[in-house]
Amino acid sequence: MTKLLLRGLSCLLLACAVGRAADSAVLVYGDITDAATGKPLAARLYLRGEADGKWHFPKSVPPFGSAVRYERKSGFNTNSVEFHTSLSAHQWVAELPPGRYTALVERGKEYLPLTNQFTVVDKPVELKLPIKRWVNMAERGWFSGDAHNHRPPGELETAMLADDVNVALPMIDWTTVDTVPPALSDRNMKGSYGAQPVVVDPTHVWYPRNTEYEIFRSGGKNHTLGALLIVGHKERFDIPVFPLKRVSERAHAEGGLIDLEKHNWNWSMPIVPVLKPDLFELANNHLWRVEYGVRNWAVPAPAWMNFAAKGLGNGSGTDTALAWTYYGFEAYYALLNCGFRLNPSAGTANGVHPVPLGFSRVYVHCEDGFSYEKWMKGLEEGKSFVTTGPLLMAKANGKHAGAEFKSRTPVELTFEMEAGFMATAPISVGQVVQVIHNGRTITNRVTGFVDEGTASSLKRLKLTVTADESGWFALRTIDLCSGRFFAHTAPWWVEIEGKPLRPRREQADWFVQRTEEEIARNTGVLQAEAMAEFQEALAAWKKIQANAK
């Protein structure tokens, strides 16, 4: 009886929302549930007509439910579109003309996607859409986050639950001009949100004090510098981007973390010694669920990365998703080798780009249960891995990533891990887990094959390696077909007495070259104070270069 009343009310709400329906329109009802428990689930739904390719966006049947429509198309690649509805855990309804349709249901990384094809004729249709969980990360102490998004706060609750994103860090303040403080920017999200975590439920929280400096206009003209993020701070930033030291010192004084947003912005590499970032957005917002879109963009990869010879596109590091992913890896490794202990982060820019919230996400391990504070502390400490699809949970000698091992003699590390791909990331060449030591792959292990549509599973692996010099280790797994699906842990650190970590010559030379190029490019555009910081950074890079091997 209750369901009939709700349906009657839904018909009235639909009529109010869209006006008088076409005579041939038919109501289609859907219930998304957990296949094991039968309980209703929040999820993301793609609903499309097969004949005309038109996208449809359902509404919630109960008025207390939620259905948030998301429509984004790439300005770089018109084939890259993201049209979906984030649904709360309630029945939904859509008004569809007769024809064939496909409903695709997805929910984060821990449920298998479900595709349902159905036909609408002349009577109401009821769809049962049970989706299967293949892994429960929370039971293992892992909780996910999207540390870079632009989703309006009014939509966050529904989007977070639909994609099971435990922590969301929206860029409430966002400036694109070097002289405009973020707090005064016209690009900010409207409203006042305070400086306390907003609790959606006991394991889903978003935090409002996050800021993006994304500078496209400098010195009074269109002149791109790049972007940096500050997450988890206390007060709104009422200061412009320069001097960078002032921004950095204030962010850290407030307990905020600075994220080097992407690796190939003009200023990204040069400013590291002055900015002192904490995070590196390894799973960044140019990696999408749909076709890769942002090609031949910003600063190309240096010659020493040798991408063309390795079959990674044209050598620019930006023309294919696989090349883009490896460009990020190599830039990250070079910074680690130069002594900058950056932990990986992940974000989507959902709200701007054609990508769901949490497609790129960072999982953080929280001991003894979840809290926002524990999650942020784990992110800072590197008890984490980033992913666009696969899962990669590991310990080295019983310790999570971020741990440090000190010794006077070579250190033997035994990695014990669970790794798995879900069926949205089919791997035709097998699942490859790689151990990375100081930027070089030292172990490859193919763990099995996953074909599209098959049940996903976690596989256990045990690998032992020896470190005879200081540095770092990390694990990664990657889809060698498209490059869009990978996971990468934060580093484990090793310090061996008398054998310090030294950067590779070509890496240090690149950082010096990039900084010199930025000094030349910005001369006459930026004020003396900003140019002095670039000179300070150059001196720091040259000092590192002098110790290179």
Model pTM score: 0.94
pLDDT tens digits, residue range 100-156?
999 999 999 999 999 999 999 999 999 999 999 999 999 999 999 999 999 999 999
With respect to residue 112, please indicate whether it lies within any of the assigned structural domains: yes
Q: Does the pLDDT value for residue 450 go beyond 50?
A: no
Long-range Cβ pairs for the range 304-313 (8 Å, 24+): 304/506, 304/507, 304/510, 305/330
* Average per-residue pLDDT for the chain: 92
Residues 509 and 492 in one domain: no
Could you tell me which residue, 279 or 10, shows the higher pLDDT?
A: 279
With respect to residue 490, please indicate whether it lies within any of the assigned structural domains: yes
Other residues' Cβ atoms within 10 Å of the Cβ of residue 274: 19
pLDDT at 12: 45
Residues 64 and 127 in one domain: yes
pLDDT tens digits, residue range 158-200?
999 999 999 999 999 999 999 999 999 999 999 999 999 999 9
Q: Does the pLDDT value for residue 41 go beyond 70?
A: yes
Residues 493 and 511 in one domain: no
Could you tell me which residue, 454 or 378, shows the higher pLDDT?
A: 378
* Number of domains the chain is built from: 3
With respect to residue 13, please indicate whether it lies within any of the assigned structural domains: yes
Q: Does the pLDDT value for residue 337 go beyond 60?
A: yes
Single residue among 131, 148, 177 that ends a domain in this structure? 131
Here the CATH number for the domain that contains residue 412 is 2.60.40.10
Residues 7 and 84 in one domain: yes
With respect to residue 446, please indicate whether it lies within any of the assigned structural domains: yes
Single residue among 111, 131, 151 that ends a domain in this structure? 131
Reported as a pLDDT band with limits 50, 70 and 90, residue 431 is low
251 within 8 A of 230, measured Cβ to Cβ: yes
Single residue among 110, 131, 152 that ends a domain in this structure? 131
Residues 409 and 523 in one domain: no
Residues 512 and 400 in one domain: no
Residue 27 phi, psi (nearest 5): -85, 130
With respect to residue 397, please indicate whether it lies within any of the assigned structural domains: yes
Closest CA to 373 of 197, 138, 168, 163: 197
With respect to residue 429, please indicate whether it lies within any of the assigned structural domains: yes
| Domain of residue 479, residue span | 389-497
pLDDT at 430: 54
Q: Does the pLDDT value for residue 16 go beyond 70?
A: no
Q: Does the pLDDT value for residue 482 go beyond 80?
A: no
Q: Does the pLDDT value for residue 8 go beyond 70?
A: no
Average pLDDT value for residue range 299-313: 96
pLDDT at 342: 98
* pLDDT above 70: percentage of residues in the chain: 92
Residues 397 and 432 in one domain: yes
Residues 490 and 513 in one domain: no
Residues 10 and 112 in one domain: yes
Going by their DSSP bridges, the two strands 257-260 and 279-283 should be labelled as parallel
pLDDT at 427: 45
Q: Does the pLDDT value for residue 19 go beyond 60?
A: no
pLDDT at 460: 86
420 within 8 A of 458, measured Cβ to Cβ: yes
Q: For residue 303, give both structure tokens.
A: 């010659």
CA distance 494 to 383: 16
With respect to residue 487, please indicate whether it lies within any of the assigned structural domains: yes
pLDDT at 422: 64
Residues 431 and 525 in one domain: no
Average pLDDT value for residue range 216-237: 98
Here the CATH number for the domain that contains residue 95 is 2.60.40.2190
Residues 43 and 126 in one domain: yes
Residues 447 and 535 in one domain: no
pLDDT tens digits, residue range 376-400?
999 999 999 999 999 999 999 999 9
With respect to residue 480, please indicate whether it lies within any of the assigned structural domains: yes
Distances (CA, A) of 55 to 24, 26, 273, 417: 18, 16, 48, 41
Closest CA to 266 of 315, 226, 318, 296: 226
Average pLDDT value for residue range 49-54: 95
Report whether the peptide linkage leading into residue 243 is cis, meaning its omega lies within 30 degrees of zero.
Answer: yes
Q: Does the pLDDT value for residue 209 go beyond 60?
A: yes
pLDDT at 457: 73
Q: Which residues contact 188 (CB under 8 A, 6 or more apart)?
A: 172, 173, 174, 182
Reported as a pLDDT band with limits 50, 70 and 90, residue 1 is very low
